[in-house]
């Protein structure tokens, strides 16, 4: 029963909140509506409801929460993922779709494979540091794709700034667990001077805004300097867009460069932890399910052989590797409760009135754990994606890409690029590495211990494991691939 003023606030528990929402779904169905401090919140717990509202009525549900702290004071309204639906957001989407379209994705393939080979080399040298190596792989690959420059190591200042911003966004500024900022309840408080008692939020916002703007501005300034001096750089998102003819832009040059800068920053920051989460769950699954590794390696050995490493051109011929990618996305969704959409006008669905400004969350966790679609949903079973009938009526909702990458006009525009990168790394790791549990001093296996502490992202804590080259020939292939790039 909602209480006066605070509504359903006491029903909220932010520790793995998606689990609480899924329990509500068991009790109340696939639509669960709450009110907290007068704010309506709707959880969509089924694929059907999410498609009906967020896809089919996409424009009405394409807004983002109206937040003073996050949007106005911290400057996150410029970040594409947080921007309100309108002319600026639509320009951002067009830029990303232009640079990340099918034609341009092909141009990034050599860079994806090159970074994958460097990752394998680092793993062969020190497999116990696999989390650091994955971070370096993701950060280096995406920085090169977005800005046309290489990350030298995991201490690179561009990478550290991006990780800092991601931590601010997911754990402080826009996190469920950070609580409700008082300025979002009483917006007039934004006019208080920062020295005023109780205005600590303004001092925090000012500092955080500077951190965010530096993270977005500095790498783009480097791109602009390179373009002005005709310096040689890698093919990149910023490079593709920066050199577009003036007649194709349709807005002022200053606004156009601002759009490139903020979309580039959004792509880079947003890709870091979400991709890391999928790859950490991949490593965990390979350690826990050795029979999956054996099947995958047998398929690769048969199709690719032992004279080269897999490439993205092999993807259609490796259905079991594709099934592993699908199952990793389903089994370890990075954001189990998708970022909230805001309804921009009153709506009615299934006889229920949904008021304007309701925040709508797609419960990705529930959709990817539906036991009717996915028997034994907590088990890692790539086979569930094999030998499906061509006319499978549930194919769309069974495909995790249709849930984990978002819905409607907020769907991730870089999904094709991300999954290409994930597939390449998974295939090459399985071709060259063996995965085992770590052992203690007496040789007994150590079970991986996992905790989830982030309230927005389902980020597992680091765990012990033993990942090493599966043979001398695998090690030779890694060295040959890296040498070929030098």
Residues 6+ apart with CB under 8 A from 347: 53, 57, 60, 353, 354
Q: How, if at all, do strands 347-349 and 31-36 pair?
A: unpaired
CB 315 within 8 Å of CB 423: yes
User: What CA–CA distance (Å, rounded) separates 276 from 132?
Assistant: 10
Please give the structure tokens belonging to residue 169.
Answer: 């966004």
Q: How, if at all, do strands 352-354 and 347-349 pair?
A: antiparallel
Neighbours of 232 (CB within 10 A): 7
Our measurement of the distance from residue 372's CA atom to the centroid of its chain's CA atoms, rounded to an integer in Å, reads: 26
Please give the structure tokens belonging to residue 315.
Answer: 């993807």
Residue recorded with tokens 């667990």: 177
Torsion of CA 86, 62, 334, 412, to 10 degrees: -60
User: What CA–CA distance (Å, rounded) separates 281 from 412?
Assistant: 20
Does the annotation list 70 as a binding residue? Answer: no
- Taken as a whole, the chain contains a residue count of 486
Compute and round to an integer the Cα radius of gyration of the chain. 23
Which residues does the annotation place in the binding site?
Answer: 412
Which residues does the annotation place in the binding site for heme?
Answer: 412
């Amino acid at each position: 029963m909602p209480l006066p003023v605070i509504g359903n606030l006491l029903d909220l528990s932010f520790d793995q909140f998606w689990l609480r929402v899924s329990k509500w779904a068991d009790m109340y169905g696939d639509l669960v509506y709450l009110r907290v401090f007068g704010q309506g919140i709707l959880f969509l717990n089924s694929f059907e409801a999410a498609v009906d509202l967020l896809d089919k009525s996409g424009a009405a549900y394409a807004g983002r929460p109206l937040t003073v702290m996050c949007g106005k004071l911290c400057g996150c309204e410029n970040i594409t993922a947080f921007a309100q639906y309108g002319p600026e957001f639509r320009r951002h989407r067009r830029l990303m779709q232009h640079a990340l379209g099918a034609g341009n994705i092909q141009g990034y393939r050599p860079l994806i494979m090159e970074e994958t080979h460097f990752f394998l080399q680092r793993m062969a040298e020190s497999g116990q540091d696999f989390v650091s190596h994955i971070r370096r792989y993701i950060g280096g690959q995406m920085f090169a794709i977005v800005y046309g420059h290489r990350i030298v190591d995991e201490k690179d200042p561009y990478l550290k700034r991006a990780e800092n911003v991601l931590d601010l966004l997911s754990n402080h500024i826009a996190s469920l667990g950070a609580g409700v900022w008082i300025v979002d309840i009483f917006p007039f408080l934004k006019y208080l001077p920062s020295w005023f008692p109780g205005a600590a939020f303004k001092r925090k916002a000012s500092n955080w805004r500077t951190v965010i703007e530096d993270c977005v501005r500095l790498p783009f300034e480097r791109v602009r300097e390179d373009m002005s001096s005709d310096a040689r750089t890698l093919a990149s998102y910023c490079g593709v867009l920066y050199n577009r003819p003036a007649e194709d832009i349709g807005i002022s040059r200053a606004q156009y460069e601002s759009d490139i800068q903020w979309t580039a920053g959004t792509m880079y920051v947003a890709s870091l932890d979400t991709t890391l989460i999928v790859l950490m769950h991949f490593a965990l699954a390979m350690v826990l399910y050795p029979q999956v590794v054996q099947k995958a390696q047998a398929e690769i050995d048969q199709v690719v052989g032992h004279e080269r490493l897999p490439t993205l051109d092999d993807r259609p011929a490796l259905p079991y590797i594709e099934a592993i990618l699908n199952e990793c996305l389903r089994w370890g969704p990075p954001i189990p409760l998708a970022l909230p959409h805001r309804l921009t006008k009153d709506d009615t669905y299934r006889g229920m009135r949904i008021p304007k400004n309701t925040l709508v969350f797609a419960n990705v966790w529930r959709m990817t754990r539906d036991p009717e679609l996915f028997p034994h949903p907590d088990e890692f079973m790539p086979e569930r994606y094999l030998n499906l009938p061509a006319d499978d009526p549930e194919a769309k909702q069974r495909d995790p890409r249709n849930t984990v990458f978002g819905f409607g006009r907020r769907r991730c525009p870089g999904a094709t690029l991300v999954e290409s990168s994930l597939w390449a790394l998974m295939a090459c790791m399985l071709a060259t590495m063996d995965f085992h549990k770590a052992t203690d001093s007496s040789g007994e296996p150590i079970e991986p211990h996992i905790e989830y502490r982030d309230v927005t992202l389902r980020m597992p804590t680091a765990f012990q494991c033993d990942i090493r080259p599966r043979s001398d020939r695998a090690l030779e292939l890694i060295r040959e691939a890296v040498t070929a790039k030098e």
